[in-house]
Amino acid sequence: MKKYTTGNAHQELSAAATKRNSAHMLPVCDWLADLPENTQLTDLIEVQFKQTRKGYFHNSQHLPLEKGTKVVVEATTGQDLGEVVLTGKLVELQIKKNRIDASRYEIRQVLRIATQEDLERAEKAHALEQQTMIKARQLAKSLGLEMKIGDVEYQGDGTKAIFYYIADGRVDFRQLIKVYAETFRIRVEMKQIGARQEAGRIGGTGPCGRELCCSTWMINFSSVGTGAARLQNISPNPQKMAGMCAKLKCCLNYEVPVYEDASKDMPSRNIPLETKDATYYFFSSDPLAGKITYSSDQHIPANLQTITIQRANEIVEMNKRGEKPTNLEGAHASFVQAEVGFMHGVDQGDVTRFDRKHNNNHHHDHRRDNRDRRHNDNRDKQ
């Protein structure tokens, strides 16, 4: 029997995911790429480097560049190698969307299309990233710095490396930069990232079974609050609401605009509904279905009544005029009851009903067989 070892399985999967994501990070769909006048509108291009890092460059030499072309571009010091992911008019729109100030952001030049020598040099430089990261973590720990080196990215020519680190507060890493420069013989750039950015650079699989959004298509990270979960009536369970980065899941924000639009006509949760029989307090809501559930007790679920948003607004207006309806349902009672009755009918139909029907037929067949057998016996006797 073949034996499987899992000692370095996590590291191998992480490395494979990093390699895959660095080459297949989903870019913006360039739907103007097939138009011949697209590249004539502007010489700007968008270049992607390792994973989520991108930059904008001028193609002043008018090289025949298209999506997927490997190019060598100018860097702060030296040269870097990346992949073209966007050309033409959409690059200007991306710059505007990302709120990049052209007066402060220096747009450098594309030097050439990458040759085989450039690709080999970059591959050798990137092969050093894993061992450099491990050594960098040890050096930072030896200096007693409260920080974590999350990733290391070498420049295409191998003369510079970006050290991505995570820290809760400010870190004085001036001595660390000197140690890194002497140890690795390269130029050093320190860049602080958050937990979400770290998860995006490492990659992984979410609880939904798909690759992490931050490592496949997300570039900018917006803040996620618990209000998004409350708006969607999601149970406030930290284990279910947290993502791989131990922060609130980014997908909590995806459907928030839909719920906000559906909830704009709902009355305030703090407004109780007064009837002739009792006072009802907000308990829960289903904005997409247009329903609100009220309880006759302010602290526990008691005598729950579900009504439509329209009916709730009607009662609120009646209460403002000093009027109290007989009950919550009112004219909408038949509609609510009919829907509830339909739901109960669905719940009653379980899969075992087919078994019971089959068993009944079996008994009928068995009695019919016995009757036929007795009839044949009597005919033989005659």
pLDDT score of 347 = 41
Band (pLDDT 50/70/90 cuts) for residue 353 is: very low
Note the maximum CA span of the chain. 116
User: What is the SS3 assignment for 291?
Assistant: strand
pLDDT at residue 122 greater than cutoff 80: yes
How do strand 70-74 and strand 79-87 relate by DSSP bridges?
A: antiparallel
Q: Which pair of tokens denotes residue 353? A: 């009903």
pLDDT score of 56 = 92
pLDDT score of 88 = 83
303-312: average pLDDT: 90
125-153: average pLDDT: 92
Domain ranges of the chain: 24-114, 273-346
Distance (Å, whole) CA 58 – CA 56: 7
pLDDT score of 365 = 52
Q: Of all residues in the chain, what percent carry a pLDDT higher than 90?
A: 35
pLDDT score of 74 = 94
Q: Which pair of tokens denotes residue 200? A: 């995006």
Beta bridge pairs of residue 44: 58
Q: Is the pTM of this model over 0.85?
A: no
pLDDT score of 215 = 82
Provide the 10 A C-beta neighbour count for residue 169.
6
For residue range 203-218, what is the model confidence (pLDDT) as tens digits? 888 888 888 888 888 8
66-75: average pLDDT: 92
Mean pLDDT of the residues in the chain: 79
275-292: average pLDDT: 90
pLDDT score of 72 = 95
Beta bridge pairs of residue 279: 274
Q: Which pair of tokens denotes residue 187? A: 């130029």
CB contact at 8 A, 80 and 155: yes
Length of the chain: 382
Distance (Å, whole) CA 342 – CA 355: 23
pLDDT at residue 29 greater than cutoff 50: yes
Distance (Å, whole) CA 76 – CA 187: 11
Provide the 10 A C-beta neighbour count for residue 47.
22
H-state helical runs in the chain: 9-24, 38-41, 89-97, 116-126, 129-142, 174-184, 195-202, 226-231, 238-241, 256-263, 309-320, 333-348, 352-381
pLDDT at residue 187 greater than cutoff 50: yes
